[in-house]
Structure 1
Amino acid sequence: MQIADLGDVQLNYREDGSPSGRPIVFANSLGTDLHLWDEVVDRLPKDLRIIRYDLRGHGRSSVPPAPYSMGALVRDAERLLDQLEVRDCIFVGLSIGGMIAQGLAVKRLDLMRGLVLSNTAAKIGTAANWQARIDSVRSSGLDSIADAVMERWFAPAFQKSGQVPKWRDTLLRQSSEGYVGCCAAIAGTDFYTPTSGLRLPTLGIAGSDDGATPADLVRETVDLIPGSKFELIRRAGHLPCVEQPDIFSNHLITFLREVGHID
């Protein structure tokens, strides 16, 4: 684990694989940390330069006062990649991480060779719904929403697997301030117009049982980008990289080959 000091925020990040390899960058979802990607990283070719980081307000990154803007989250990713001298990466983002991916591609296409948008959208939910969640966390803490979040995150089969408590604990370990800060960023984001202007290789991934970003919503966003691909992972909810890591990784590796990022 390493800390990138970006001035107004300090981001915890981790590098795996080969320092001289072609870069792939992962951005986590709301309420998780960089360990969201553990099962996928274990399945990737070791000659890649694999970079993961905790979003501001999450994991071991610092927690600036809420609310956050999507522009700030995009700028965090931009400054981290500039500091690490990353260019032509494949950027993989899940949920809010996928929104950051869209915003970064629009702002700094020079940083990216391709885009993987997992369980995300150009616009997620309504401002009123996000405000209700913010109010609940502010008044009663993350525990007040944890059960509902787990239902949205995971498909029925995974709910019975005994692994859900681990991810509930992951949610509860996050900072309430960081969580509501990122809720505010999602609430204020509508990327339909800028994302429709993107022209780069893009893979979309959705879970058939996703209660947070339904598959049709993910497909609608991915279809904004000409030439994009879309893959539906069955028996998976909002975190298919956790529920179906073999299938998720296979889709990702196929995409990396197709764009020439691996042989």
Structure 2
Amino acid sequence: MGHDPFQLLTSRGNFRVAVDGDVTAPALILSNSLGTTLEMWTPQVAEFAKHWRVIRYDTRGHGGSPVTPGPYRFDDLGQDVLALLDALSVEQAAFCGISMGGHTGLWLGIHAATRLSALVVCNSAARIGTQPAWLERASMVRAGGATSMRNLADSAPGRWFTEGFIHDQPDVVQRVQEGLAQINPEGYAACCEALATSDLRADLGLISTPTLLLAGAFDPVTTVADAQAMQVDIAHAQLAVLPTSHLSNLEALGGFAQTVHNFIAHV
């Protein structure tokens, strides 16, 4: 299950963080997807903590981390990660993020390469979705508040999981839905605005950190083609495809952990 989360004071606010594993081991920081918290990584903590000092955190706007007024930018979300590493006295870490978290990883690879030992970008893209769609969702959530978050949660499974997983693992699906329904509407909307404005495609060639692009074969949000497009632009990037939809670490517990471990261990 991992250690209990705690509040970590950083130069950019008080973030909700959990740290597991040997304090002297190489660091691995995990970044959650939009509408989830650090608990999304619970299935992988025990395995990852055998090898690394595992750092999980709630992204700004989510869970117990700062919910500052939006809009956010990925400059903000990336600088938050650097502040977390500084507060924990970690000079360099491997980074693994899903969806929004993966996009944060791309930003770090472009702007803060010296802080990364390896980069794993899961179920993500250099440009996720369209600006009008994200701005419409942000506006809807701000107007509707908690009711809009509940409506989003009701519709989320079809975007996040395959039909087979929804049928076979209803408890997992419901738990993630409940988590989404509890996210602060302003924080969620502000992160939607960050996704609306961020397009990193022109800068992918600046990434020199060893990079793994992990995609879900059945992901309707960030497709295998999105990962293949990034692979063309990131030097020596590797590509792995799991038989999942969007939240690949929850749908392929062991396969996800093994794929990530094999990559980082060989960097």
State whether TM-score is above 0.5.
Answer: yes
1:177 aligns to 2:186 (yes or no): yes
Which one of 46, 60, 63 corresponds to residue 42 of structure 1?
A: 46
Asked whether the 8 Å contact 1:9–1:64 carries over to 2, the reply is no
Q: CA deviation at 1:8?
A: 4.8
Deviates more, 1:16-25 or 1:197-206: 197-206
- After TM superposition, the structure 1 = structure 2 runs for residues 106-121 of structure 1, keeping only pairs within 5 Å, are 106-121=110-125
CA distance in 2: counterparts of 1:233 and 1:47, whole angstroms: 22
2:230 aligns to what? 221
Deviates more, 1:174-183 or 1:5-14: 5-14
2:154 aligns to what? 147
Deviates more, 1:84-93 or 1:215-224: 215-224
- After TM superposition, the structure 1 = structure 2 runs for residues 59-70 of structure 1, keeping only pairs within 5 Å, are 59-70=63-74
1:31 aligns to what? 35
CA distance in 2: counterparts of 1:112 and 1:94, whole angstroms: 16
CA distance in 2: counterparts of 1:136 and 1:145, whole angstroms: 10
Which 5+ residue runs of structure 2 have no aligned equivalent? none
Superimposed CA distance per residue, residues 24-53 of structure 1 (whole angstroms, 9 cap, x where no aligned partner): 110100000001111111222524111111
Asked whether the 8 Å contact 2:153–2:178 carries over to 1, the reply is no
1:257 aligns to what? 265
2:140 aligns to what? 136
- After TM superposition, the structure 1 = structure 2 runs for residues 190-209 of structure 1, keeping only pairs within 5 Å, are 190-209=199-218
**Matched-pair identity in %:** 31
Superimposed CA distance per residue, residues 209-253 of structure 1 (whole angstroms, 9 cap, x where no aligned partner): 11211121122123321111111101x111110010100011011
Aligned residues: 258
Which one of 130, 133, 144 corresponds to residue 126 of structure 1?
A: 130
Paired residue type of 1:149: A
Asked whether the 8 Å contact 2:207–2:234 carries over to 1, the reply is yes
**RMSD (Å) for aligned C-alpha atoms:** 1.3
CA distance in 2: counterparts of 1:6 and 1:222, whole angstroms: 34
Q: CA deviation at 1:135?
A: 2.2
1:73 aligns to what? 77
CA distance in 2: counterparts of 1:189 and 1:109, whole angstroms: 19
Tell me, what secondary structure is at the counterpart of 1:43?
helix
Once superposed, which parts of structure 1, at least 4 consecutive aligned residues long, lie more than 4 Å away? none
Paired residue type of 1:217: D
- Structure with the largest fraction of helix: 2
Superimposed CA distance per residue, residues 83-111 of structure 1 (whole angstroms, 9 cap, x where no aligned partner): 21212311001111111111112221111
CA distance in 2: counterparts of 1:42 and 1:244, whole angstroms: 15
Paired residue type of 1:76: D
After TM superposition, the score normalised by the length of structure 2 is 0.93
CA distance in 1: counterparts of 2:142 and 2:33, whole angstroms: 20
CA distance in 2: counterparts of 1:18 and 1:8, whole angstroms: 26
Tell me, what secondary structure is at the counterpart of 2:19?
strand
1:84 aligns to what? 88
Which 5+ residue runs of structure 1 have no aligned equivalent? none
